[in-house]
Amino acid sequence: MNLFESLRASFTSLRANKLRAALTMSGIVMGTFLVFVMYSVGSGATREAKKVITDLAPNAVAVVYGYFPVDMDISKVTFSPSEMLQQMEDLGTNLPLISSRFKPEMSYPLQRELPGGCMATPLSVDLKRVEFGPRSRNVFAFATNDNYPAIRNQSLARGRYFTRRDEGRRVCVLGSDLSLRLFGDIDPVGREIRVNGRRFQVLGVMEPRGRTMFMDNDDLLLLPYWVGGHLGPEQVDGFLVSAPTPEDMREAKAACIEVLERQVGEKTFTVITQEEMLALAGDATRLVNIMSGIVTFVGLLVGGIGIMNIMLVAVSERIREIGIRKAMGARATDILKQFLLESLLLGISGGVIGICMGFGFLMMIEVIFDFPPYIGPASILIALLFSMGVGVIFGVWPAMKAAALDPVEALGHEL
């Protein structure tokens, strides 16, 4: 009996019990759905995180106030709030972003001590209300120095960036989207806007850069460090450094630690390189993968047991049919094949439905949370293989039972 004939026979018998087949499939549908969604969201999140990190700056080194042991294994971090607070206290640090002993002028000794070609800027983040005429927006504002465009490898579409010669003046540079939303087609260079009610002169507009997961890089305001972020002009959240090569990046990290420890003391701040950030993101991905693995396993069990159950029922219902087929010359392998194909078919159909539902769900996530899950061929393949695997693995035992039936007993079986 060739494969096509076996498939036809399996299909016929599934069609004879449509409702039962559908109910059986619900487990495998849910399982495949979960596997597909988790895998897509997980790989989407990883991709986005990596994009955010690599988008930061070429060979970036970030310095933030507050100590966090970067080289620790994230999978060993506990997530209970009380333990986290305890850990913070043990580390003797203040919560970052609430207070900082970094001062903007520390970027000058930093710049001097860094390897050649490296550039540093102080960096503070704040949320500001920006107004022009009747239009207003709440946007993220970065306070930086004149190295910022070079560090982020981003040029200006119009006007210029602020320099030290502007020191003391209330000036700003707009992201391309912010410019478009406030000014439309009007050239904003030289015009005045209000930032949190105070008047600022627009010096320039950045080239568009695109968005990453957590923010729109073009819908932001760039302010000089002397204006300051949420900590005021005397303090900054941290520093951002870019290096020409990965080697320089590692050296730059050492230099940052050396310079800043002299200024603010040991273990009060964190220096993290792009490599280390990617490694942390990788750790987080592994954590997500472990959790997806558990979900996958549970899904497999639930879906598989459903399939096994119904296949056992199907075998016991069709004992006489098996006897007839054997009397007509079917070999044990023919019977095995027929029932295995049937459970495989159940698995695949459930899988395809689960994947379709997953597509719908992921599209919803994308719309609602503005987060692009990554639906690659790998997610589809994994979900399909999962459902097929469940169909086969949990179909083996019922199919073997069917194949091993004694033809005489099977023929005499009463329904």
Partner 1 sequence: MSPQALHAHVFDGMGGSIRARSVHKIYRMDGVEVRALQGVDLSLAPGDHAAIMGPSGSGKSTLLNIAGCLDRPTSGSVCVDGMDTAGMQDRELAALRNRCVGFVFQSFHLLSRTSAACNVEIPLLYRGAGRRERRSRALEALEMVELSHRAEHYPSQLSGGEQQRVAIARALVSRPRIILADEPTGNLDSRSGEGILRILDDAHERGITLLVVTHDRAVAEHAARIIHFNDGRIAREEKHAGDGSTPRSAGKKEFCDEPV
Q: How far is it, in rounded angstroms, from Cα 259 to Cα 25?
A: 63
Among residues 370, 104, 347, the alpha carbon closest in space to that of 211 is found at: 370
Any contact of residue 407 with partner 1 (CB under 8 A)?
Answer: yes
- The count of other CB atoms within 10 Å of the CB of residue 337 is 23
Stretch that binds partner 1, among 243-251, 323-331, 350-358, 382-390 (CB under 8 A): 323-331
Any contact of residue 334 with partner 1 (CB under 8 A)?
Answer: yes
Nearer to partner 1, 141 or 311 (CB): 311
Any contact of residue 2 with partner 1 (CB under 8 A)?
Answer: yes
Nearer to partner 1, 277 or 336 (CB): 336
User: Does residue 354 contact residue 29 with C-beta atoms inside 8 Å?
Assistant: yes
The amino acid sitting at 76 is K
Instruction: Find the binder of partner 1 among 104, 224, 323, 395 (CB under 8 A).
Output: 323
Burial 376-385 (b: 16+ CB within 10 A, else e): eeebbebbbe
Stretch that binds partner 1, among 245-253, 320-328, 349-357, 365-373 (CB under 8 A): 320-328
**In sequence order, which residues have a C-beta less than 8 Å from that of residue 76 and are 6 or more positions away?**
none
- Count the site residues for partner 1 by CB under 8 A: 23
CA atoms lying within 13 Å on the CB side of residue 75: 10
Any contact of residue 80 with partner 1 (CB under 8 A)?
Answer: no
Instruction: Find the binder of partner 1 among 10, 13, 93, 147 (CB under 8 A).
Output: 13
Any contact of residue 168 with partner 1 (CB under 8 A)?
Answer: no
Mode of pairing for the β-strands spanning 171-174 and 198-206: parallel
Among residues 54, 220, 253, 20, the alpha carbon closest in space to that of 125 is found at: 220
Closest approach of partner 1 to the CB of residue 313, in Å: 16
Closest approach of partner 1 to the CB of residue 1, in Å: 5
Any contact of residue 402 with partner 1 (CB under 8 A)?
Answer: no
Instruction: Find the binder of partner 1 among 70, 356, 393, 411 (CB under 8 A).
Output: 411
Instruction: Find the binder of partner 1 among 326, 380, 388, 399 (CB under 8 A).
Output: 326
Among residues 411, 190, 395, the alpha carbon closest in space to that of 308 is found at: 395
Residues near partner 1 (CB under 8 A): 1-2, 5, 12-13, 16, 320-321, 323-334, 407-408, 411
